[in-house]
Structure 1
């Protein structure tokens, strides 16, 4: 039902679920917010192979769907706050999409929530967004703030 579907299931189950419902997902925007992570000896680790993403696996499992990787970097509790709670500049939601219509749907969702869309390339770049989630979540679990690793450069006068 609807033009867009949020696939919010355990990452390992997402491709099989997409394959099972490929017919129903055809032509729809499928937003993948999963994170393929497991705890490892040195911290959080990806469960996908090198260069592989769950978003890409979903796309392969449901080739008629327009898969978008999005909404996987902010902790679930962040969506309970209005965007202006984070300061004057709305937080960004990186997303990866191959289909312009699907990118438009996700852009509308993000801006409708008061956040800023941050296009991060095509679905072939989703593995980088998933790897960023492993980094960010690992820093949170260690008690740090990932925002400190990404300071803005000083702006010219």
Structure 2
């Protein structure tokens, strides 16, 4: 009978060891999952108020124009500028507008495409102002195969 009790005791010891290993494995797994989801361990850090200061441009500088250029967007200063800024730069960069030089028909077609596929709102009376501004200030250019190089300083090849 003694051997039977000894065997039971050994089995209990093995179960306790396995249970301890499972608990340690579970704790380790949870720690790894937490580290993957929050590598900075922010949960364990004290809540200290961090003040971040961002320089907000003065209201005068927000729509500042220098040398005929609206500084924030790069658009030319002309009639309809703010209508274009307020409607076009809500969804995309002003540079996207500037690089796409088109005639009136193509600008209107582009606006229709944006309304049909990109959820552009109905521009109403602003559409005419926007198209007139774009056609006047960013008309199509005949570039040919490539633009002519300008302001190039050439150098002499030495033998």
Which of 1 and 2 has greater Rg?
Answer: 2
What interval of TM-score do these two structures reach, taking the shorter chain for normalisation? Answer: under 0.3
Greater fraction of residues in helix: 2
TM-score by length of 2: 0.24
**1 or 2 for the larger relative contact order (CA 8 Å, sep ≥6)?**
1
TM-score, length-scaled by structure 1: 0.24
Q: Which has the higher strand share?
A: 1
